[in-house]
Structure 1
């Protein structure tokens, strides 16, 4: 029975030439695809006014998020089996159709089904694109490209809300999804024309064996440790911003002021671009530990400075910088752990990452108010750093 072997990639076999514009196209597409995930936040009131308030949250957000996370497990092995380009382009085409269909939803029930289909289609992009970058680019360019696409993944949650809200004001929530569908159609066409299949040496095996391999990989001790630590990466990020919004609202800030506070940490997200150079100097394991320590320190400072807005802003920048370093570094660690079945690694990476994001919304239930909840979350980041570092020590023993 074939197994996933954790061996270093050959120097040239996995590197196919990429056409000019491929990386900017993937980064731009990542931003547009992830905006579909966060569109539920600014569109909630518009949809409720049109379709009724009953079950709007479930229709807009919950079904999409669950389908999105589940889709990673479906499409990772598919891209290993059928090729990156085929899954990426066909997935974008399906997402285009689903997004246009969402704009026509006649009820919240129909919206829930269509949003779930949209999330399932959107999940084709991230694991396939990340596996593509791992195969098509040499290590120095690969690290930079993964850093750039990680910036898009992170910033979509904040900057994506601004144009969505503006379009909804002018064209309504249906117009927002319709325009998104047209933009996705253009990106699908560009991907079809520009993206080439990388020249990768993937093992030939039946599709059912690839899914069996995914299960075996997910249950390996190293993978389980990586997953435990990885749950915190985006979970704490979502949790912090949920807690921050509630805290600032209780302090009397307006919705616009709260959005400006959230946006203050946007420049720190560019630290994703530093993950590659840091990994080249320190190695991925130490770079991940650095990210966890930064995130821990930032959250601890936020907890202490909860009532001082300037200090709170500065601490949030430190926290976001740590998360920005972590996202591409964890992608690298999952890819190394799963090689040569990178699609499997990216599938489990994405599933755990966005499962953590879903769990992060429950941070507001933690005890101790804003400061206490951030203190608990800070401790989780520190523990996660230790767990991930321990998982890296297992490299080569499996």
Structure 2
């Protein structure tokens, strides 16, 4: 069983990377797609936006579904459906076909994250679970680079359709691996209330709501910063690529989140991540050189990589028997933040983006302080009760 749990952790991490990579596959090949299909480039951009919308809908739908049908079954069924939806993207022959296929692909791939997070809580002890969540979320961050790099490289040596044939083949292999390796977990007790009613009650919980407030800013800030660097960096394309790639090495810190939570508590780990992010953003507003941006981007990515598994741990614990639905809302809010980041950045210059992010993380610091007080009160009430 121990070996199977280790294989499950590796499989969930790899699957997470390949699922999240498809969020970004169209970005570097908009021009190739529009030329091949003889459509306006805006239609290709629209297909990417529809993917994000239906991915978010999938997150909301499949978390509650995993409570009813089982985490393992939802992941396996989602990977199977993703094979065909991804093939459909590669076979699209016009703007409507591309938009419809990307929408369906987003919906099917949205089945993975909430079921995978809930499965981690079902199968692993707190320390091992935090490490697994850190691995999965590190994979999500790396997917921002890997997805674009794979699609641009494959398109350079072949045609853009080959990108999606490649991913369909990967999803077929992952489907087989999931069917063979993933263990089943115990289903939660059936509720008389609807999933919508439970999610509404979770959003009314002031403590969980503060966690969601912080959640919204995490991928929003990550995407905003990297988008702003891409738009305003004055160096060569090679320097820009190195800057983006070097920054992602900060994701390594997420691997130590479990040990930090165990040694220092979840609250102190949260504050450590917030302080690192604020210091790195303030420093970026002062120092604009290539080396400075490289070092500071490593620190900023490290803070995000530390905060994401910490927030997941908090939400999973606070969600209790409703953790799958609580984590579904987490995934939806996280992606919503990422989706609106680019349109917001278009309206601002680099310095204003940094000021916005500094303001958001100062707000997070206040939310973290209030969150710590409420967690302390809950702990005291539990001891006295």
TM-score by length of 1: 0.90
2:363 to 383, 386, 389: 383
Question: Partners of 1:122 and 1:90 in 2: how far apart?
Answer: 10
Report the equivalent of 1:254: 236
Matched, 1:172 2:159: yes
Question: Partners of 2:97 and 2:264 in 1: how far apart?
Answer: 50
Alignment of 1:126-205 (within 5 A): 126-199=113-186, 202-205=188-191
Question: Partners of 2:246 and 2:315 in 1: how far apart?
Answer: 30
Matched, 1:374 2:361: no
The question of whether the paired residues in 1 share the 8 Å contact of 2:87 and 2:168 is answered with yes
Question: Partners of 1:16 and 1:198 in 2: how far apart?
Answer: 15
The question of whether the paired residues in 1 share the 8 Å contact of 2:82 and 2:105 is answered with yes
Report the equivalent of 1:297: 279
1:347 to 317, 325, 328: 328
Q: Summarize deviations over 1:41-82 as a string: whole Å, max 9, x none.
A: 122121111122243343331001111122211111111121
The question of whether the paired residues in 2 share the 8 Å contact of 1:288 and 1:385 is answered with no
Report the equivalent of 1:32: 18
Q: Summarize deviations over 1:251-301 as a string: whole Å, max 9, x none.
A: 2x3333311210011211111111111111222222122111111111111
Report the equivalent of 1:227: 212
Q: Summarize deviations over 1:157-201 as a string: whole Å, max 9, x none.
A: 01222222111112211011011101101100110111111235x
Deviation at 1:392, TM superposition (A): 4.2
Distance 1:372 1:19, change over 3 A: closer
Matched, 1:312 2:299: no
SS state at 2:158 partner? helix
Deviation at 1:142, TM superposition (A): 1.0
SS state at 1:118 partner? helix
Instruction: Give RMSD over aligned pairs.
Output: 1.9
Q: Summarize deviations over 1:212-268 as a string: whole Å, max 9, x none.
A: 2122112322232222221111101100011101111xx2x3333311210011211
Question: Partners of 1:110 and 1:133 in 2: how far apart?
Answer: 36
Structure 1 residues 349-358 or 139-148, which shifts more? 139-148
Matched, 1:240 2:229: no
Report the equivalent of 2:255: 273
Structure 1 residues 97-106 or 218-227, which shifts more? 218-227
Structure with the largest fraction of helix: 2
Matched, 1:21 2:7: yes
Q: Summarize deviations over 1:82-133 as a string: whole Å, max 9, x none.
A: 1101111001111111001110111112111111111111111011001101
Report the equivalent of 1:90: 77
The question of whether the paired residues in 1 share the 8 Å contact of 2:23 and 2:147 is answered with no
1:364 to 330, 345, 352: 345
Distance 1:170 1:216, change over 3 A: same
Unaligned runs of 5+ in 1: 1-14
Unaligned runs of 5+ in 2: none
The question of whether the paired residues in 1 share the 8 Å contact of 2:274 and 2:364 is answered with yes
SS state at 1:343 partner? helix
Report the equivalent of 1:5: none
Matched, 1:337 2:301: no
The higher relative CO (CA closer than 8 Å, separation ≥ 6) is in 1
Report the equivalent of 2:246: 264
Distance 1:104 1:66, change over 3 A: same
Alignment of 1:319-334 (within 5 A): 319-334=300-315
Q: Summarize deviations over 1:350-385 as a string: whole Å, max 9, x none.
A: 011011111221342455x31232022112112113
Distance 1:387 1:366, change over 3 A: farther
The question of whether the paired residues in 2 share the 8 Å contact of 1:26 and 1:149 is answered with yes
